[in-house]
């Protein structure tokens, strides 16, 4: 009988990305470190939709950009991707809902591929305060 140890180290950080109300996809510090954005002068990512289930989205971390890739931008210590038009085309309601993606690495792929599991909650409405 053979077995393989499942390392706890692999599951200690939660990789997440959040869609802002502006449509930008922002990465947590842990996700940016895992994806190696800081060590790459010009980081790029690609997105793919599952052919069998279009609601499943994948992020592919690529070494170089091309016409299919999105440039990862940096503001201070924060990394984000301009994805508004993509999310609009996928009919993801990031304006009225908080959209969070839990990123899970897909093993056995030639590139760094992460399945993006979507969670949504209704955005809290801001109260108008008249003084």
Confidence of residue 46 (pLDDT cuts 50, 70, 90): very high
Domain annotation covers residue 2: no
What's the whole-model pTM score? 0.83
Within a domain: residue 96? yes
Is 40 a member of any domain? yes
Q: What is the pLDDT of residue 131?
A: 47
Q: Which residues have C-beta within 8 Å of that of residue 3, sequence separation ≥ 6? A: none
User: Domain residues for 63?
Assistant: 13-122
Q: What is the pLDDT of residue 128?
A: 56
Strand partners, 115: 58, 104
Structural domain includes residue 34: yes
Query: Domain for residue 6, yes or no?
Result: no
Please report, for residues 33, 41, 47, 114, the alpha-carbon distance to residue 110 in angstroms, rounded to integers and kept in the order given.
20, 22, 15, 12
Which tens digits make up the pLDDT trace of 14-40?
A: 899 999 999 999 999 999 999 999 888
Residue 25 lies in a domain: yes
Percent of the residues in the chain that have a pLDDT greater than 90, as a whole number? 65
In total, how many domains does the chain have?
Answer: 1
Average pLDDT of span 83-97: 95
DSSP E strand boundaries for the chain: 15-19, 24-27, 44-49, 57-62, 70-75, 78-82, 97-106, 112-122
Residue 43 — very low, low, confident or very high, per pLDDT cuts 50/70/90?
A: very high
Helix (H) or strand (E) holding 89: helix 84-89
């Amino acid at each position: 009988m053979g077995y393989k140890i499942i390392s706890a180290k692999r599951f200690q950080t939660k990789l997440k990305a959040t869609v802002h109300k502006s449509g930008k996809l922002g990465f947590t510090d842990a996700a940016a470190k895992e994806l190696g954005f800081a060590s790459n002068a010009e980081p790029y990512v690609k997105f793919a939709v599952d052919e069998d289930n279009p609601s499943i989205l994948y992020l592919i971390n690529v070494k170089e950009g091309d016409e299919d890739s999105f440039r990862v931008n940096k503001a201070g210590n924060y990394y984000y991707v301009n994805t508004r038009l993509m999310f609009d085309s996928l009919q993801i309601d990031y304006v009225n809902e908080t959209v969070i993606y839990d990123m899970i690495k897909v093993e056995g792929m030639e590139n760094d591929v992460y399945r993006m599991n979507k969670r949504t909650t209704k955005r809290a409405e801001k109260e108008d305060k008249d003084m």
